[in-house]
Structure formats: structure tokens, C-alpha cells
Amino acid sequence: MRTRGATPRHAAGLLMLLLWCFGMAEPSDPAGNHPFTIFNENTGKCIKPLVGWIVAKDCDGSKDMLWKWVSQHRLFHLQSQKCLGLNITKPTDSLKMFSCDSNAMLWWKCEHHSLYGAAQYRLALKDGYAIASTNTSDVWKKGGSEDRLCDQPYHEVYTRDGNSYGRPCEFPFLIDGTWHHDCILDDDHNGPWCATTLHYKYDQKWGICLIP
């Protein structure tokens, strides 16, 4: 009988767990998981969701302008608790905020200072609004720095104990109507913990976070 090989992600999680148990490694360092503003160098503005649109405004660092990289290359907006995504069936109005469990295209990657998603649509500004375009020279950075949006990318936070066998946290994860983008504390677990699937209520998969 052939034994199924572990996926690279599961193998990495198991390795981190073993190293942690034997004191040979520090818990995962989520150094790239901090909130940031999305700054457009062409205009000197930052973007935020506003009444169904994504608009460019003066950068003030308020919560309604803060974003985080989360699991699966998604961009999570802290205040709205939604993910930036593309509905590629609507080419003229494809860029929107979606629930983070949506079937829309929610992943984003970087090419130099450009941010692109599915079908090579790129984040752009036009007349004060963020749009998706296949032809743009917009330069995007993390506000207040020279970092590109993908510099210091998202780092997986692996787990111990629980019932997930070392799998990494799934951020954000949903509990009682709230999307959590970080490990949480409560009276039912013996340390900061996370869910390892999107919907904790249904899957009940969790682990204690391996963080400093």
C-alpha cells in the first residue's frame, strides 16, 4: 500500500512543532503581520473602503485605513472586517470588498511596486477611486515607509496542542460574527489560540499559537 506523502505546508508545520517541543526553535515570528496603510506614491493618498467604494484619502493612520496581510495572500481591512477582492465577471466594476469566505478572487501578489490579482488585474487609482486595471503604472507602498506592499510578507503562525496537529492558523477566522485577524485569549484555552479553518463554529479546529 502506498503511503500518501505530506503536503509541504503540513510538513513545515510538523517540523516547526517538533523543533518547538525540543526547544530548538523559537515560536513563529509574525513580524510581517502588522497593520499598515496602503499608500499610492503617484498621488500621496491612502485607500480605504467607503460606502461600497474604495476611495483615496489623505493618510492619517486611523483604523479605517489599516490593512493586514492574512492567510492565502489576502488583504484584510481591519475596520470593515472584509477582504479586498475581484469579481472578474464584471470587468468595469470588479474591485470590491468581500466577505473573507467569498468565492470572489481574493488573492493579491506584488510585481515590483505593483499589486496584481486574478487575470492580471492591478490595483490603480482613477479620479479618487481605487479600481482594477490591466494597464497602470501606479506605485504602491506601505504608508510611512519605503517598503513595497509585499516586503515583510505574511508569516504563517503555527500551532501546538488543540486538535489541528500543528497546522497553521487561518487568518481571519470567524467566531460568532466576528472575523479575528490575530490569536485570541479566552477562559476556555490555556494560551493565545486560533482556528485553523475559516469557520470555527462548524469545524471546531484549533491550536495554541506558537508566537513569542
CATH code at position 12: 2.10.10.10
User: How many angstroms separate the CA atoms of 86 and 105, rounded?
Assistant: 5
Task: Based on the fold, state whether residues 163 and 123 are members of the same structural domain.
Answer: no
Task: DSSP letter for 146, please.
Answer: S
Shared-domain flag, residues 44 and 134? yes
In the chain, the amino acid numbered 41 is E
Determine whether 78 is exposed, middle or buried from the number of CB atoms within 10 Å of its CB (0-12, 13-18, 19+). Answer: middle
Q: State the residue range of the domain holding 82.
A: 38-142
47 assigned to some structural domain:
yes
Task: In whole angstroms, give the CA distance from residue 165 to residue 177.
Answer: 26
Looking at the structure, tell me whether residues 51 and 107 fall in a common domain.
yes
179 near 100, Cβ under 8 Å?
yes
Q: Where are the beta strands (DSSP E) in 101-190?
A: 109-111, 114-116, 122-126, 129-133, 140-142, 159-160, 173-175, 178-180
User: What local confidence, expressed as pLDDT, does residue 212 receive?
Assistant: 67
Residue-by-residue pLDDT tens, the chain, 212 positions: 434 444 444 444 444 444 444 433 333 345 567 999 999 999 999 999 998 899 999 999 899 999 999 999 999 999 999 999 999 888 778 999 999 999 999 999 999 899 999 999 999 999 999 999 999 999 999 999 999 998 877 899 999 999 999 999 999 999 999 999 999 999 999 999 999 999 999 999 999 999 86
Q: What is the DSSP letter of 118?
A: G
98 falls within a domain:
yes
Position 77: which residue type? H
pLDDT of residue 163: 96
Does one domain contain both 45 and 92? yes
Q: Are residues 117 and 194 in the same domain?
A: no
Domain CATH code at residue 44: 2.80.10.50
In total, how many domains does the chain have? 2
DSSP sequence for 19-87: HHHTTSSPPP--TT-S-B-EEETTTTEEEEEETTEEEEE-----GGG-EEEEGGGEEEETTTTEEEEE-
For residue 61, the one-letter residue type is G
Same domain, 183 and 167: yes
